[in-house]
């Protein structure tokens, strides 16, 4: 029988020095969740590394009403950078039957609009369907977009996002200057177009 699902809160306290990075290990038992809050009004990037051979669900939820702002599945041994605003909380959910070990680094991020221009673009990957959509972002993360969810990302110009079809990898899109800051990508619709273009 699955153990009763529980939710634990971890509050990270940061040094007053903005250059300091708080690194910590986090264990998510089978069937349970772990929650991360930030103690101030700043914007953070959570660098997450899955140290286990099992996946874990990652979600950013509103502190006020619990609404999911964005989320995805982090694959075994995968890594991801997750934006965590002061009004939101970060939750890791382990639906498996064995514990998952994570490594976190919380880094103070720049406020949107103050990011270095010409180097990266912040946008949202949205899944409007009832099926999960696995993606590959080489050297960044391998997100598995949950049904009816979204994942906010900030990727460098030139970064490729790939999808897998019958064991082969194909280009979904490459980040370029034509993409507007804060734009939203309908991943399922784009996948449909790319499969047609590639004759898949």
Token pair for 70? 């964005």
Token pair for 184? 């939203």
Whole-angstrom Cα distance, residue 120 to residue 56?
Answer: 27
Whole-angstrom Cα distance, residue 188 to residue 146?
Answer: 12
Are 91 and 133 in a shared domain? no
Contact at 8 Å (CB) between 61 and 68? Answer: yes
CATH code (residue 63): 2.60.120.10
Are 127 and 97 in a shared domain? no
Last residue of a domain, one of 76, 109, 142: 109
Confidence of residue 100 (pLDDT cuts 50, 70, 90): very high
Are 92 and 189 in a shared domain? no
Last residue of a domain, one of 89, 109, 129: 109
User: Of 154, 136, 157, nearest to 145 (Cα)?
Assistant: 136
Q: How many domains does the chain have?
A: 2
Position of tokens 């909380």? 89
Range(s) of the domain holding residue 142? 116-200
Going by their DSSP bridges, the two strands 79-84 and 44-50 should be labelled as antiparallel
Alpha helices in 71-144 (DSSP H): none
Contact at 8 Å (CB) between 38 and 44? Answer: yes
Whole-angstrom Cα distance, residue 133 to residue 143?
Answer: 8
Does the model's pTM come out above 0.85?
Answer: no
User: Of 162, 25, 175, 46, nearest to 101 (Cα)?
Assistant: 25
pLDDT tens for each residue of 116-142: 445 878 888 889 999 888 888 887 777
Contact at 8 Å (CB) between 163 and 193? Answer: no
pLDDT tens for each residue of 170-179: 999 998 888 8
pLDDT at 22: 57
pLDDT tens for each residue of 139-192: 777 778 888 887 778 788 888 999 998 889 999 999 888 888 888 999 999 999
């Amino acid at each position: 029988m699955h153990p009763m699902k529980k939710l634990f809160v971890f509050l990270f306290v940061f040094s007053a020095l903005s250059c300091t990075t708080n690194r910590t290990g986090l264990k998510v038992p089978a069937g349970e969740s772990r929650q991360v809050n930030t103690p101030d009004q700043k914007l953070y990037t959570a660098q997450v590394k899955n140290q286990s051979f099992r996946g874990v669900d990652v979600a950013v939820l509103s502190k006020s009403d619990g609404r999911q702002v964005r989320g995805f599945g982090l694959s075994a041994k995968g890594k991801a950078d997750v934006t965590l605003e002061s009004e939101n909380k970060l939750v890791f959910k382990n639906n498996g039957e064995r514990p998952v070990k994570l490594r976190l680094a919380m880094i103070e991020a720049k406020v949107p609009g103050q990011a270095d221009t010409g180097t990266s673009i912040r946008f949202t990957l949205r899944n409007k369907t009832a099926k999960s959509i696995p993606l590959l972002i080489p050297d960044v993360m391998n997100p598995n977009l949950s049904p009816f969810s979204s994942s906010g990302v900030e990727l460098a110009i030139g970064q490729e996002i790939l999808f897998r079809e019958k064991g082969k990898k194909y280009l979904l899109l490459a980040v370029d200057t034509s993409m507007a800051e804060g734009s939203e990508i309908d991943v399922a619709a784009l996948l449909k177009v790319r499969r047609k273009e590639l004759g898949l």
